[in-house]
Amino acid sequence: MHVYDNPVHVLTNNPEFPDQLIKLSDYSDVTPHNPKNTLIPNVDLNLYSRGLGTHHLPGGMDSSSRFVKVAFTLSHAPKGKDEAENVTNFFHILHAVEQAKGLDEVEDNRYEYTMYTDCMNLDKGILYFTNYDNNHINAVDMHKADLDSEDLICFDLFKK
């Protein structure tokens, strides 16, 4: 087992974490701002679209591309003034890299996809989640459940 400090607060399954951090250097010039023309500084280039500073962000379904995109998004996302804003921001960040059905074939006619996304307020014991069939943010207050029970506790996925 390897334990790493995680300065970017993002994690994915592959490649190994040190390689993910090295990969970020390929995107060190990505910015949420309009790029400065350093190609031909004396020519007024037409910036034909907003967001050109992020033009080189990867957009694939592979874990490395998703790691880079979330690291960038998280580092530039606004910090909310309350829990509701922070939870909303969290889901916007992760929805930017979720996998839709049909895009990542793992074997003939079987596809990987994002089944659910979740986060938890550890102080309040509230689990927030969305699932593939329901983008509404749902919440379960874990402190209202008998967490000392020997019985398995199941919660509905609120698919509708």
| Residue 111 belongs to a domain | no
The strand order across the sheet containing 134-141 reads 116-121, 126-131, 134-141
| Residue 49 belongs to a domain | yes
Q: How many domains does the chain have?
A: 1
**Where residue 160 falls among pLDDT bands split at 50, 70, 90?**
low
| Residue 53 belongs to a domain | yes
Question: Considering only CA atoms, which of 56, 59, 67, 66 is closest in space to residue 20?
Answer: 67
Q: Considering the entire predicted model, what is its pTM?
A: 0.81
Question: Considering only CA atoms, which of 136, 119, 116 is closest in space to residue 127?
Answer: 119
- The fraction of the chain above a pLDDT of 70, given in percent, is 98
pLDDT at 11 exceeding the cut of 90: no
Rounded mean pLDDT, 15-25? 93
User: Which residue shows structure tokens 């990867």?
Assistant: 58
Could you list the residue range(s) of the whole structural domain that residue 67 is in? 1-76
